[in-house]
Chain A
Amino acid sequence: MYALLSRLAELIARGMALLGGLALVALVVMTCVSITGRALIPVGLQPVKGDFELISIGMGFAVFAFLPWGLYARAHATVDLFLTRFPARVNRVIDLLSDLAFLGVAVVMAWRLWLGMLDKKSYYETTLILQFDMWQAYALALVGAVAFALVAAFCVLRSARALAGYAEEAGHV
């Protein structure tokens, strides 16, 4: 059962990261096209309409999409001064506590983002140039936020098992 969950969490984290990465590459291409168009206005070309907004929307999606992997891969900066000085068990307890806190943060984040999306929808807010619906930009971000909460739940399980003394899975990063 745990192995299945572990594979699922890893799949979600990797999948979202790759989606975010593809969004990033798309933004890179769009920006290069836009710069070229802007430089060539005299010969009739145009920059991509609303390029700044597209970067902002795309980056919002990418950053949210990167959150699950950041947590799964334990990428968050810590001060490891006492890491080797604490007994192993203390370290496991701290891992569990911080993963629990992350789960709380992730759930609150997704919940509030959902409400924020409903706000944007009810007020018909759009972006300035493209008049892209803001609620849709929030919805894109919400995909990452929900994945973040799911992976955070798995990380709590992972730390709890480590504390209980189970060996870490082979797939662990």
Chain B
Amino acid sequence: MSDFDLALWSFPVLLLLIFLRFPIALAMLLVGFFGTWMVTGSPMMMLAQLKSLTYSTFSQYSFSIIPLFLLMGQFATLSGMSASLFRAAEGFLGHRKGGMAMSAIGACAGFGAICGSSLATAATMGQVALPELRRYGYPNTLATGALAAGGTLGILIPPSVILVIYAILAEQNIAKLFVAAIGPGILAALGYMIAVAVWVRVSPNSAALAPRVPWGERLKMLAGIWPVLVIFVAVVGGIYLGIFTPTEAAAVGAAGTGVAALFSGQMSWKTFSQSVYSTAASTAMIFMIVLGAGIYNSFLALTQLPQETAAWVSMQDLSPWIVLAVVLVMYLAFGCIMDSLSMVLVTVPIIYPIMITLDFGMSFDDFGLWFGVLVLIVVEVGLITPPVGMNLFIINNMARDVPISETFRGALPFVLTDIVRVVILTLFPALTLGLVWAIY
């Protein structure tokens, strides 16, 4: 078997292990390790590499942003800001038809501005908003679907752990990527609200309306969420206003949400340690995948498969738009069963070098930002598509009397708006890049 065949065969083996429910990190690590062994004829190459590879991977400065953003999300959860966000959104939207569901989405968007993770956003906002939605008589489908979808705003609106990982893998400027994602993130929140508005009109229901809140009251509620604004401006603003690096911004964000949690009275040794355990679990998961993907990708590089594939693709004279469409659809399909973080970690090092050989009539930098935002959206859809959608599980778990099938159905209209948004952003790159051009 040639090295090239070996690399080709590694894909089905990897997929088999993953579908057998082996942890994704472990599957890649093992296939990469034994693949390298087969190419070089001895385990020594990999073993020698491992003397410094684990330490240099885990201590890489650019990756240290990830645990810090995770910790920031945990502290934001403790800070009680989710409740004030929901109150403020309710004050503005609650009296409309479907207003409480829209408020939940608006509050998710606000929470997303200080939290870099979808799961944390879904879990936190679900706890606050789900009981309210049900109290007001929203159907289970809409209530759970809206919150699961709203949770994805945690990642779609910067700061965002997935964007950070994409930026590192594709060597993109994190600050510009965050700026590029702001417009599409707001579009996502609007799209979800429109989905709610259409839903409550197409399928009438008995959900009650909240009383109209006078403007004075509304402004007071808005004033109650100032810590969110301060932290968002400090973190995302601080990065491109020239005060600190993204990693430092994550540290500032963790400090800010930590202080907010302290002042809210929610920070105790017990809640602090729970925040640390959650951070530890997610960090361990992500870094093991980073390590596994690194070992698997170096095995592929050794066989020269990526170089030859990229050369082959550029010789085929394919329409770049068709290739892009195929890639995006593939992400959507894999997203049904795979976790979004792992998908980015596994695929971007392989797919991105191929994509940049295609000509979309824009500069390398612009392409990197635009493609990153598109990938971000298609992998995030995976969180709310059956059969495996983490946000659906988290929200459904909070409403134990609701069958999962109802949550699945509730999420579908939101998935539809996601797909419409991907098409729009693909056809009009300026929607993503405009703000970047304006600022830089």
Contact = CB atoms under 8 A, between A and B. Distances in A.
Interface of A: 14, 17-18, 20-21, 24-25, 27-29, 31-32, 34-35, 39, 52, 55-57, 59-60, 62-67, 69-71, 73, 75-83, 86, 91, 94, 97-98, 101-102, 105, 108-109, 112-113, 115-116, 119, 137-138, 141, 145
Given A24-B279, A31-B252, A56-B64, A77 B25 contact: yes
Interface in B38-58: 47, 50-52, 54-55, 58
Which 7 A-B residue pairs are closest in the complex by CB-CB distance?
A70-B284, A60-B59, A21-B276, A75-B281, A116-B51, A76-B23, A31-B251
Interface in B275-304: 275-277, 279-285, 287-289
Given A55-B64, A94-B22, A105 B280 contact: no
A76 B24 contact: yes
B233 to A, nearest CB: 15
24 contacts: A20-B280, A21-B275, A24-B276, A25-B258, A28-B68, A28-B251, A64-B54, A66-B280, A75-B284, A76-B25, A76-B288, A77-B23, A77-B339, A78-B22, A82-B20, A83-B21, A94-B22, A101-B26, A112-B54, A113-B50, A113-B51, A116-B52, A116-B55, A119-B51
A97 B22 CA distance: 8
A24 B282 contact: no
B26 A98 contact: yes
Nearest to B15: A79
A64 B275 CA distance: 17
B30 interface: yes
B155 interface: no
Contacts of A21: 71, 272-273, 275-276, 279-280
A52 B22 CA distance: 36
Most buried by B among A25, A76, A138: A76
Contact of A115 (B51, B67, B276, B279): B51
A145 B54 contact: yes
Contact of B67 (A29, A63, A113): A63
Nearest to B390: A77
B255 A32 contact: yes
Contact of A14 (B30, B51, B277): B277
Interface size class of B (residues with CB under 8 A): 35 or more
Contacts of B251: 27-28, 31-32
Nearest to A17: B280
A159 to B, nearest CB: 13
A77 B28 CA distance: 12
Interface string B310-349: 0000000000000000000000000001110110000000
A59 B58 contact: yes
Interface in B57-87: 58-61, 63-64, 67-68, 71
Contact of A138 (B47, B55, B337, B387): B55
Contacts of B279: 21, 24, 66
B244 interface: yes
A63 B29 CA distance: 17
A127 to B, nearest CB: 11
Contacts of B132: none
A35 B244 contact: yes
Nearest to B341: A77
Contacts of A25: 258
Contacts of A55: 61, 64, 247
B59 A108 contact: no
A71 B244 contact: no
Contact of B29 (A24, A60, A70, A105): A105
A20 B22 contact: no
Contacts of A86: 21
B19 A56 contact: no
Given A18-B273, A31-B251, A141-B55, A94 B21 contact: yes
A70 B288 contact: yes
A56 B26 contact: no
Most buried by B among A28, A102, A113: A28
A20 B67 CA distance: 10
A59 B280 contact: no
B388 interface: yes
A59 B64 contact: yes
Nearest to B52: A116
Contacts of A79: 18-19, 21, 24, 337-339, 388
A35 B243 CA distance: 8
A31 B47 contact: no
Contacts of B58: 59-60, 63-64, 141
Most buried by B among A57, A77, A101, A109: A77
Nearest to B60: A56
B280 A69 contact: yes
Given A20-B276, A70-B285, A78-B23, 10 more contacts: A14-B273, A27-B64, A31-B247, A32-B255, A60-B59, A70-B281, A79-B21, A80-B388, A98-B23, A112-B47
